Structure 1
Amino acid sequence: MSDSVPVPPSDRRTFVSKVSAAVIGGLITVAAPIAGLFPILDPLRRRSDTRGMVRVTSFAALPEGGEPRKFPVLDTLVDAWNKTENVPVGSVYVQRTGDNTVRVLHSVCPHLGCSVGYNASGRGYFCPCHKSSFALDGSIADPKSPSPRGMDPLEAVVRDGEVWVKFQNFRKGSPERIAV
């Protein structure tokens, strides 16, 4: 005769409880990390560039004679979870061209990105880095200019006595105006 101990038959309740514990444990093991990814990946779901029109100045601040004025562009930047208001993102030249109309030019030279200055006596813009010169409308004034294109115009509207600009940067050194 054998000295083996008889094994009791498995109980149905024990089997069901073990299977349900394994299923619930597996679901928790999978669901918790997936739920944790949502807050981590949330900034990736948002639009990266939420800038639209930015208020630059009042229309009354512009001289009637058509002389351009340089204004800083302050915007609200949203980076992942941070929101910072009134951050300087660049500057523009704003020129009154008529009743409720303006011309807005980016203040950065399209050649290599130096800051362009306004020359009141020459009635035009001048880049001190490589001697590019631009007419009052932003076109290239000197054919020997190293700049591959004229100054970059920006979309602008006068609304309720204020000048609003769609500020954007463009690729430097390219003859085409390519937004970046």
Structure 2
Amino acid sequence: MKTVIIKYNAGNVQSVMYALDRLGASYLLTDDEAEIRSADKVIFPGVGEASTAMAYLRERGLDKLIPSLKQPVLGTCVGMQLMCRYSEENDTTCMGIFDIDVRRFPNDAGLKVPHTGWNNIHTLRGPLTEGLTDNAYVYFVHSYAADVCPETTAICDYVRPFSAMLHRDNFYAAQFHAEISGNVGQRILENFLTL
């Protein structure tokens, strides 16, 4: 099985590679269109700022390539946000795979922004959450989040309920960092790799 990690202007790639190493999965880090199209699974991770990352994707045509993929695709953190329609972070038009906007957490809610650390996810559904129990804990680092919508497959409550996971067709996404979310994150990655 060929797994590709999309290489673009966003951090966190190394921890994704370590997580795949722990699972014994072989992978390739690339931004080459032919390599991405020929992959069995595609992972679109990210840590960074939405408008800069989208500009990089557009420069390389990845903003058109990613939505056209037919194999299972998993976006995480900023990768998930860029798969949405729009982000309030620097007024950024994203790829629109998920028809939902990404909004900043307000600073006046009495909770720290960014949302950093372990938090639970609930109302789980879909193939990536198979084998998990409701209220499983995962690791978040973000100031922006997608609202709850029909494509939501896990919810987290912080400032407001938000989409911790999304799924539509062959596209899957997680706002948290599955690669550093312990056994829960490992199970999610295993579920993705065995789709």
TM-score by length of 2: 0.23
Q: TM-score, normalised by structure 1?
A: 0.24
Which of structures 1 and 2 has the bigger CA Rg?
1
